[in-house]
Amino acid sequence: MESKTLQFARRGRRLIGQEMFKVLERAKKIERYGQRVYHLELGNSSFPPPSTVIQTTIESLSNGHLGYVPSSGHPDLRAALAQHYAEGGRPWITEKYFVISPANLLINQVLDMTCNEGDVLVVFTPAFPTYIAAAEYIGLTLKAIALESEKGYHLTKQAIDQAVALKPKALIINSANNPTGAVYTHSSLEYLIQQCDRYGIWVLSDETYADLCYRWPYWSLSALEYRQLIVLSSFSKYYAIPGYRTGYALAHPTVASKLSLSCSTLFSCLPLFTQEGCVAALKVGESYLQEVCDHYSYITEHCAEIINQSGVLTCSVPEAAFYLFIDITQTKLSDHEFCRRLLQEWHTAVTPGSSFGPGLEKYVRVSVSGQKEDVLEGIRRLVEFSLHCKDGRPWLSSADTTPLRKVSHAV
Amino acid sequence: MESKTLQFARRGRRLIGQEMFKVLERAKKIERYGQRVYHLELGNSSFPPPSTVIQTTIESLSNGHLGYVPSSGHPDLRAALAQHYAEGGRPWITEKYFVISPANLLINQVLDMTCNEGDVLVVFTPAFPTYIAAAEYIGLTLKAIALESEKGYHLTKQAIDQAVALKPKALIINSANNPTGAVYTHSSLEYLIQQCDRYGIWVLSDETYADLCYRWPYWSLSALEYRQLIVLSSFSKYYAIPGYRTGYALAHPTVASKLSLSCSTLFSCLPLFTQEGCVAALKVGESYLQEVCDHYSYITEHCAEIINQSGVLTCSVPEAAFYLFIDITQTKLSDHEFCRRLLQEWHTAVTPGSSFGPGLEKYVRVSVSGQKEDVLEGIRRLVEFSLHCKDGRPWLSSADTTPLRKVSHAV
């Protein structure tokens, strides 16, 4: 009983996924041959999460908190978030503004709720790959507005005017930015909302890395009461629990209750025990959080210095988060070729730049969120490989300077 | 900066969610006033899960397994599933056939991958509410084929012929059935696939309750190699861990890899620690599983007997799972009015029948998956309330026969 050809629907045909997960899958295959791989492809923090988060989750599991909870999220977590934001000077924000859902899924949920197939979506590039994958999947007309590396990838008035002139149905903004680490100014964001309000444009503000802004105070769009604004964030990055897959949306209650119906339709609800862990996360003291920021501030600056002194690679120094967006032009390789060979020959996993938008084939993204020693070894390999490429020498000629064996049968 | 009206996209306007989660939310509001509620609205098992599942999850958390895993799922879990199915006499099934995702989300993923807006989807009713909510959300033309209570809600050749004649793009089959507890025969399912193969119809076989089939051996569609078949299942029900939100799809590798891209696009991956718990679940011995089945076999039969001897309510005796689909015609109330009043006045939560398909306003679904004592008390209240309704007496006249106080300010 074999059918002839499999006919997928339009959405089925438009699925592209996230490139970094494809890189992870390739890396895992190499690891299955017993070969160590340096993982710089994903924002997988190796910083230990606050012990109360894990302890609370374990207690919740031990106490049998294994059932369903309301689709909008565990009431205690929504209340804790409301308190968190109210304390931050936004007293009008109540628990009705919050919906608990994985942050990556929220990107899809928000776009599907606000845009029809064919509608224009604006993103500022370099942009997080899921924006592009979700737009493609849903069938949106994606318009990418390139931010300039010379301007530190900052959001300019000109870029905003350009975006609004495209009359998009929705627009995604991501400060602090993945992959560039740029943090947008209060005035640029306020101008953005003014313009969007004028034209009735939905705004999705992805603030996943807001709390990892270590160079100056962060300004969140949640300070503005714009009904077509959805702020999204996650517990993954700040509290080092990406595996919890727990994030949230903050939006006007009318929008939030739509999102809650979306959660109910799509996945019923999230686990209670992870949500209870997140309640504990919101009570974690400043000292842990300061330590996290200090660490990422140090490691990003240090790695950027190595990159920029390499004589072959260049990058901006991030203002937030834990990524470096690295220009590989001098290696004369395309991003995919670069990543493929770096993984296969140097067992170091990084993500191709073109996943972050059109015209970025001369970049790769490196995550420095892992264990310091591993990150530094990965960066060393990245630089050595790049130097070999620049010099035009095959890497095998310098094989004796590195402890690696080529794994030819794995990838 | 208030916009005038919020303009949602078509999908945003078509969100209806799952009725039982709305009931849960109403019940939680009553509980916040300190009032006990008997929860018969959701399939929330109170049967203790195998201790190794919880223990393994806790160890995984303690060992810092908090990062990302491949979008298709934890390789060990996919391998364990392949072994599980291969041992069940389907040796061609390898790990490439599996994708790990929440079962409820998989319904949406599969429909979105196989059907375009406007395409016909056939479901046999009574049907699990998410089929209806997902179809509505995606914009499918839903055709419901009613199975007859007189025939124990079994799938007949006539119903299959009727379904195929509608030339649907896809069809959902759910044996063992939620809410009716009906289990379909090998011959009817084989005939269904023959007919679908003839017309190139996608088949989603929801086998979430397959292992809770306690009256006779279950026949799974996974025995057939039909490339347009996606079997979906969950760890929630059998292992009593609905809060893990972990399920899986079993499909031809071409279809599975599409689903994996869908996971990557939508939610990146599921937690590693819950997936490691599920690996442990697949190793749980027969005695636990027998105990679970014995319990549900007993409680469903016992509760069905109470219902059918009540003189006001009737239901079929389920062949599987832990739901009763109860005819409330004699109460002269619509399902929504019945559920609203039963919750408000008798603090007992059940789900309106109309959530399970058109023409089912004279039914409610009751889940008997909770603690035995609570279930029996809930059933007692259901019967008493129904008798009051049948007799036409207002419930307050019999308030002294029950320990309840009316919570008028809560709902």
Q: What is the pLDDT of residues A330-347, one digit of tens each?
A: 999 999 999 999 999 999
Cα separation, B403 vs B407, in Å, equals: 13
- Residue A406 located in a structural domain: no
Q: Residue A190 — very low, low, confident or very high, per pLDDT cuts 50/70/90? A: very high
Q: Examine the fold and report which residue of B250, B281, B312 is the final residue of a domain before the chain moves on.
A: B281
**How far off is chain A from B152, nearest CA to CA, in Å?**
28
The two tokens of residue A390 are: 């620049």
Q: Are strands A351-352 and A363-367 parallel, antiparallel or unpaired?
A: antiparallel
**Looking at the predicted structure, is the pLDDT value of residue A404 above 90?**
no
Asked if the Cβ–Cβ distance from B9 to A270 is below 8 Å, we say no
Weakly modelled stretches of chain B, pLDDT under 50: 1-3, 397-411
Q: Which of A65, A102, A117 sits opposite B267 (nearest CB)?
A: A102
What is the DSSP code string of A253-274?
Answer: HHHHHHHHHHHHHHHS---HHH
State pLDDT tens for residues B143-166: 999 999 999 999 999 999 999 999
Cα separation, B393 vs B391, in Å, equals: 5
Contact at 8 Å (CB) between A43 and A323?
yes
Domain containing B356: what range?
10-48+287-401
- Residue B363 located in a structural domain: yes
Peptide bond into B126 cis (omega under 30): yes
Residues A82 and A202 in one domain: yes
Residues A222 and A98 in one domain: yes
Q: Examine the fold and report which residue of A281, A315, A345 is the final residue of a domain before the chain moves on.
A: A281
pLDDT at site A410: 39
Q: How many CA atoms lie within 13 A of B259 on its CB side?
A: 33
- Residue A391 located in a structural domain: yes
Residues B321 and B274 in one domain: no
- Residue B391 located in a structural domain: yes
Which CATH number do you get for residue A333?
3.90.1150.10
Alpha helices, H only, A142-271: 157-165, 186-199, 253-267
Cα separation, A221 vs B240, in Å, equals: 41
* A-proximal residues of B, 373-392, CB under 8 Å: none
**How far off is chain B from A380, nearest CA to CA, in Å?**
23
What contacts B137, CB < 8 A, 6 or more positions away? Answer: A265, B11, B14, B15, B16, B108
Nearest Cα to Cα of residue B317 among A91, B241, B309: B309
| Rounded average pLDDT over A165-182 | 97
- A54 CB near a chain B CB, below 8 Å? yes
Judge residue B392's burial from the number of C-beta atoms within 10 Å of its C-beta, 0-12 exposed, 13-18 middle, 19 or more buried.
exposed
Residues A213 and A325 in one domain: no
- pTM score, two decimals? 0.94
The two tokens of residue A342 are: 């770096």
B-chain residues near A72 (CB < 8 A): 25
B-chain residues near A240 (CB < 8 A): 66
Asked if the Cβ–Cβ distance from B2 to A194 is below 8 Å, we say no
pLDDT at site B47: 83
- Tell me the CA end-to-end span of chain B in Å, nearest whole number: 33
- A47 CB near a chain B CB, below 8 Å? no
**Looking at the predicted structure, is the pLDDT value of residue A411 above 80?**
no
Residues A267 and A164 in one domain: yes
B-chain residues near A67 (CB < 8 A): 42, 44-45, 242-243
A-chain residues near B77 (CB < 8 A): none
Cα separation, A259 vs A263, in Å, equals: 6
Q: Examine the fold and report which residue of B281, B315, B348 is the final residue of a domain before the chain moves on.
A: B281
For residue A212, which phi and psi values (nearest 5 degrees)?
-100, 35
- Residue A312 located in a structural domain: yes
Nearest Cα to Cα of residue B306 among B322, B324, B294: B324
Q: What's the one-letter identity of residue B287?
A: S
Residues B167 and B220 in one domain: yes
3-state secondary structure of A138: helix
Contact at 8 Å (CB) between A306 and A289?
no
What is the DSSP code string of B166-218?
Answer: T--SEEEE-SS-TTT-----HHHHHHHHHHHHHHT-EEEEE-TTGGGB-SS--
State pLDDT tens for residues B120-130: 999 999 999 99
Residues A291 and A319 in one domain: yes
**How far off is chain B from A272, nearest CA to CA, in Å?**
6
* B-proximal residues of A, 254-283, CB under 8 Å: 254-255, 258, 260-262, 264-274
Q: Residue A394 — very low, low, confident or very high, per pLDDT cuts 50/70/90? A: low
Residues A43 and A68 in one domain: no
Q: Which of B108, B169, B258 sits opposite A15 (nearest CB)?
A: B258
State pLDDT tens for residues B239-275: 999 999 999 999 999 999 999 999 999 999 999 999 9
pLDDT at site A393: 62
Which CATH number do you get for residue B103?
3.40.640.10
ipTM of predicted complex: 0.94
Q: Residue A210 — very low, low, confident or very high, per pLDDT cuts 50/70/90? A: very high
| Rounded average pLDDT over A292-296 | 94
B98-119 burial, b at 16+ Cβ within 10 Å, e below that, comes to bbbbbbbbbbbbbbbbbbbbeb
Cα separation, B402 vs B391, in Å, equals: 17
B-chain residues near A261 (CB < 8 A): 15-17
- A409 CB near a chain B CB, below 8 Å? no
What contacts A379, CB < 8 A, 6 or more positions away? Answer: A40, A303, A306, A307, A366, A368
What is the total count of domains within chain A? 2
B-chain residues near A270 (CB < 8 A): 245
What is the DSSP code string of A329-360?
Answer: GGGT--HHHHHHHHHHHH-EE-EEGGGGSTT-
A-chain residues near B6 (CB < 8 A): 227-228, 252, 254-255
* B-proximal residues of A, 347-376, CB under 8 Å: none
**How far off is chain B from A187, nearest CA to CA, in Å?**
16
- Residue A387 located in a structural domain: yes
- Tell me the CA end-to-end span of chain A in Å, nearest whole number: 33
In this structure, is the dihedral angle defined by the CA atoms of residues B60, B61, B65 and B67, taken in order, positive or negative?
positive
Distances B332 to B339, B378, B382 between C-alpha atoms, Å: 13, 20, 14
For residue A347, which phi and psi values (nearest 5 degrees)?
50, 40
Residues B65 and B210 in one domain: yes
**Looking at the predicted structure, is the pLDDT value of residue A28 above 80?**
yes
pLDDT at site B88: 84
B-chain residues near A269 (CB < 8 A): 21, 245
A-chain residues near B252 (CB < 8 A): 6
Asked if the Cβ–Cβ distance from A1 to B57 is below 8 Å, we say no
- Residue A2 located in a structural domain: no
Asked if the Cβ–Cβ distance from A272 to B66 is below 8 Å, we say no
Nearest CA in chain B to A111: B9
3-state secondary structure of B291: helix
Contact at 8 Å (CB) between A410 and A26?
no
pLDDT at site B393: 61
- Residue B304 located in a structural domain: yes
Contact at 8 Å (CB) between A23 and A349?
yes
pLDDT at site A391: 81
**Looking at the predicted structure, is the pLDDT value of residue A401 above 70?**
no
